[in-house]
């Protein structure tokens, strides 16, 4: 495919020459920036906050927080004190010890960030839950991880079935919660009384830092464990790819419930000592532009769905705001349509830099850099220190322009450490030749640019969120009217994909619009709004293998009017 590349915009970038860095870079070079290389004591939250709070950056703004009601700023020194308070509360009243799982389930507020950092300082593994999760999703994750402590809000508490979670010992509430002796504690109240000093619990390189649950095509969501040494790559990619520099005002729009929101909403910027913007509340195009204009955001990391929604809100709205502070714009999560890249050139006069990575990989791996021409539609090239290739199903490397499995050579610092409670699942990601296989299909062109083609499995990406069809199907069949359900991703111009469910009803139920809506609501209330099917189609019978597995690829072929392929395993 021939596309017009967008040329490099001259500038003073943190990665001046991609080719040179690929030649000479080694991950061990990075370690010297961290204090542990001198002291031997490691903790990612200490490196992200305290190292700066105890330096010339003490009074530099670390966090600008904005939502409808709050407009606050915190220096690195404030962040150190607040995270120390949180760490004191968690260890004193929550008995948190090294390796314990502490989950956070709350909206994006400064307290969420104090809690995450405090939990990391106390040696805990932090499990962030997206605030839209409903009871079933919350329970699965707390149960699988044997979470000991949960920090949430009185409103979200309704979705926490704590009496069914024996490992959960302590719950902290943020907000005007009623303290109940022994069970619920008021986090703010305790923090007000807590000391601002705390000696971080020192960790080993491979001790747990974050536990992010993510969906595959089968089974329940799996817990992807990231460890403290990942900070090496959080730091370095934020430097090279986000191009973070001392004076930047950086805004990552992702929620910490997803890996982008922890790695590039917390660690990437703060490990670099950069001012970070956090915006709470719902997405509103007008507000987003206001944030950029009022805070003078210079580096902006968002997602294709958000850009497409901004595009839909019209160019006139862009013109009403002064966005001239922007110097670097990036995207992640789904294919970034060339059309969106062209729109970005038109309205922001900026190239939108696509980046590719996954929950499992822990940091960016294939990216477009400021110091590189961009081919709209391409994910870019592997970061220095990482080897990527297209391999066949046996692990043989394929030549340029051949489609195959997008694979990464094992051994980058932020790679997941394991799948929680499921070492076999972890091992299943690898192929002969030490290739980590992503589950994405792609090809590489002659110039080494990678082009995303699709998912190999049935995982759905809707509005940038990864949804496992099995999880939705399992919820659907819990509804009394549903006998069988098959769920697919259906292409959608704004959301990338939407969730479509095919349903066979039980005897005695009739197809009605009300029933369809009721089933939709059932998933929405039981799992999460973003996991509820936008379309439901009723069928007398669903295509299945002889062993009884719903054949999603046949459903997809029906939906898209494509050939159904090999049907030899289908039941009669």
Strands 208-214 and 222-227: antiparallel
Establish if 440 lies at the interface with ligand WT7 (CB under 6 A): yes
CB-based burial label for 162 (10 Å; 0-12, 13-18, 19+): middle
Based on CB atoms, which residue is closest to ligand WT7, 148 or 226?
226
Residues near 32 by Cβ (< 8 Å), separated by ≥ 6?
A: none
Establish if 359 lies at the interface with ligand WT7 (CB under 6 A): yes
Report in angstroms the alpha-carbon separations of 356 from 109, 260, 353, 364, 454.
Answer: 27, 11, 10, 6, 13
Establish if 433 lies at the interface with ligand WT7 (CB under 6 A): no
Establish if 337 lies at the interface with ligand WT7 (CB under 6 A): no
For residue 537, what are its two tokens?
């189609």
Of the residues 129, 156, 203, 259, which one makes contact with ligand WT7 according to CB under 6 A = 259
The tokens 């509820």 sit on which residue?
532
CB-based burial label for 356 (10 Å; 0-12, 13-18, 19+): buried
Number of residues that bind ligand WT7 (CB under 6 A): 21
Based on CB atoms, which residue is closest to ligand WT7, 329 or 332?
332
Establish if 333 lies at the interface with ligand WT7 (CB under 6 A): yes
x/- track of binding to ligand WT7 for residues 167-206 (CB under 6 A):
----------------------------------------
**Shortest distance, position 147 Cβ to ligand WT7, whole Å:** 21
Contact set for ligand WT7, span 443-502 (CB under 6 A):
452, 455, 461, 466
Segment lying near ligand WT7 (by CB under 6 A), choices 226-234, 343-351, 433-441, 550-558: 433-441
Establish if 255 lies at the interface with ligand WT7 (CB under 6 A): no
Of the residues 133, 184, 213, 357, which one makes contact with ligand WT7 according to CB under 6 A = 357
**Shortest distance, position 440 Cβ to ligand WT7, whole Å:** 5
Establish if 334 lies at the interface with ligand WT7 (CB under 6 A): yes
Based on CB atoms, which residue is closest to ligand WT7, 122 or 214?
214
Contact set for ligand WT7, span 67-106 (CB under 6 A):
none
Establish if 265 lies at the interface with ligand WT7 (CB under 6 A): no
**Shortest distance, position 438 Cβ to ligand WT7, whole Å:** 5
Cβ atoms of 528 and 134 closer than 8 Å? yes
**Positive or negative torsion for Cα 517, 522, 523, 528:** positive
Segment lying near ligand WT7 (by CB under 6 A), choices 106-114, 176-184, 437-445, 480-488: 437-445
Of the residues 152, 253, 260, 302, which one makes contact with ligand WT7 according to CB under 6 A = 260
Based on CB atoms, which residue is closest to ligand WT7, 48 or 442?
442
Residue 405: beta bridge partners?
A: 391, 441
Based on CB atoms, which residue is closest to ligand WT7, 14 or 462?
462
Segment lying near ligand WT7 (by CB under 6 A), choices 72-80, 125-133, 187-195, 332-340: 332-340
Cβ atoms of 49 and 269 closer than 8 Å? no
Segment lying near ligand WT7 (by CB under 6 A), choices 72-80, 203-211, 348-356, 530-538: 348-356
**Shortest distance, position 341 Cβ to ligand WT7, whole Å:** 12
Separation between Cα atoms, residue 351 and residue 338, nearest integer Å: 11
The tokens 């968690």 sit on which residue?
90
Based on CB atoms, which residue is closest to ligand WT7, 221 or 533?
221
Separation between Cα atoms, residue 363 and residue 226, nearest integer Å: 10
**Other CB atoms within 10 A of residue 222 CB:** 22
Q: Give the DSSP letter string of 443-468.
A: EE-TTS-EEEEEESSS-EEETTEEE-
Separation between Cα atoms, residue 362 and residue 412, nearest integer Å: 9
For residue 107, what are its two tokens?
């909206």
- Residues 107, 109, 111, 113, Cα dihedral to 10°: 90
DSSP state of 237: H
Of the residues 46, 356, 436, 449, which one makes contact with ligand WT7 according to CB under 6 A = 356
Rounded to a whole number of angstroms, the distance between the first and last alpha carbons of the chain is 42
Q: At what angle do helices 338-347 and 304-312 cross, to 10 degrees?
A: 60
Contact set for ligand WT7, span 376-395 (CB under 6 A):
379
**Shortest distance, position 545 Cβ to ligand WT7, whole Å:** 25
**Shortest distance, position 7 Cβ to ligand WT7, whole Å:** 21
Of the residues 358, 372, 523, 554, which one makes contact with ligand WT7 according to CB under 6 A = 358
Of the residues 47, 354, 471, 473, which one makes contact with ligand WT7 according to CB under 6 A = 354
Count CA within 13 A, CB hemisphere, residue 394.
2
Based on CB atoms, which residue is closest to ligand WT7, 339 or 537?
339
Q: Please give, one letter per residue, the 3-state secondary structure of 265-329.
A: HHHHHHHCCCEEEEECCCCCHHHHHHHHHHHCCCEEEECHHHHHHHHHCCHHHHHCCCCCCCCEE
Q: How would you label 530-561 residue by residue, b for 16+ Cβ within 10 Å and e otherwise?
A: bbbbeebebeeebbbeeeeebbbebbbbebee
The tokens 């039981």 sit on which residue?
526
Based on CB atoms, which residue is closest to ligand WT7, 91 or 361?
361
x/- track of binding to ligand WT7 for residues 280-299 (CB under 6 A):
--------------------
Establish if 241 lies at the interface with ligand WT7 (CB under 6 A): no
Of the residues 75, 91, 214, 405, which one makes contact with ligand WT7 according to CB under 6 A = 214
Residues near ligand WT7 (CB under 6 A): 214, 259-260, 332-335, 354-359, 379, 438-440, 452, 455, 461, 466
């Amino acid at each position: 495919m021939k596309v017009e590349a967008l040329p490099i915009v001259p500038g003073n970038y943190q990665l001046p020459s991609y080719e040179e860095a690929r030649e000479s870079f080694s991950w061990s070079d990075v370690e010297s920036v961290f204090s542990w290389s001198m002291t031997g004591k490691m903790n990612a939250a200490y490196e992200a906050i305290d190292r700066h709070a105890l330096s010339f950056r003490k009074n530099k703004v670390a966090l600008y927080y904005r939502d409808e009601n709050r407009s606050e700023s915190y220096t690195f020194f404030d962040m150190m004190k607040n995270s120390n308070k949180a760490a004191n509360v968690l260890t004193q009243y929550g008995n948190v010890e090294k390796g314990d799982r502490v989950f956070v389930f709350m909206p994006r507020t400064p307290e969420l960030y104090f809690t995450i950092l405090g939990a990391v300082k106390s040696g805990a593994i932090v499990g962030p839950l997206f605030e839209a999760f409903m009871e079933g999703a919350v329970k699965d994750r707390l149960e699988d991880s044997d979470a000991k402590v949960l920090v949430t809000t009185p409103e979200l508490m309704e979705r926490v079935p704590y009496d069914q979670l024996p490992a959960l010992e302590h719950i902290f509430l943020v907000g005007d919660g009623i303290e109940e002796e022994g069970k619920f504690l008021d986090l703010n109240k305790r923090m007000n009384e807590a000391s601002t000093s705390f000696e971080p619990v020192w960790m080993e390189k491979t001790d747990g830092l974050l536990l992010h649950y993510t969906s595959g095509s089968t089974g329940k969501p799996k817990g992807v464990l990231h460890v403290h040494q990942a900070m090496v790559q959080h730091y370095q990619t934020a430097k090279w790819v986000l191009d973070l520099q001392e004076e930047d005002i950086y805004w990552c729009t992702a929620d910490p419930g997803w890996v982008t929101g922890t790695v590039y909403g917390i660690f990437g910027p703060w490990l670099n000592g950069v001012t970070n913007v956090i915006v709470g509340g719902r997405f509103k195009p007008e507000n987003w532009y206001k944030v950029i204009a009022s805070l003078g955001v210079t580096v902006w990391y968002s997602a294709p769905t958000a850009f497409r929604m901004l595009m839909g809100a019209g160019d006139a709205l862009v013109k009403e705001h002064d966005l001239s502070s922007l110097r670097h714009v990036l995207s992640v999560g789904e294919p970034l349509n060339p059309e969106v890249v062209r729109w970005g050139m038109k309205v922001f006069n900026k190239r939108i830099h696509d980046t590719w990575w996954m929950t499992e990989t822990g940091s960016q791996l294939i990216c477009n850099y400021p110091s590189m021409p961009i081919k709209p539609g391409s994910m870019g090239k592997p970061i220095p220190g990482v080897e990527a290739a297209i391999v066949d199903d046996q692990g043989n490397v394929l030549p340029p322009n051949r489609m195959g499995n997008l694979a990464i050579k094992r051994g980058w610092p932020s790679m997941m450490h394991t799948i929680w409670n499921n070492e076999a699942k972890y091992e299943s990601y690898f192929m002969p030749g030490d290739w980590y296989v992503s589950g994405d299909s792609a090809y590489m062109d002659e110039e080494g640019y990678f082009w995303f083609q699709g998912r190999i499995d049935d995982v759905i990406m809707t509005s940038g969120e990864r949804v496992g069809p099995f999880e939705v199907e399992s919820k659907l069949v819990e509804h009394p009217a549903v006998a069988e359900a098959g769920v697919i991703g259906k292409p959608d111009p704004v959301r990338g994909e939407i969730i479509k469910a095919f349903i066979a009803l039980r005897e005695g139920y009739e197809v009605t619009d009300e029933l369809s809506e009721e089933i939709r609501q059932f998933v929405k209330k039981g799992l999460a709004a973003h996991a509820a099917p936008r379309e439901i189609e009723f069928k007398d019978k669903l295509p299945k293998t002889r062993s009884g597995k719903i054949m999603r690829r046949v459903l997809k072929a029906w939906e898209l009017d494509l050939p159904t392929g090999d049907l030899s395993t289908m039941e009669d």
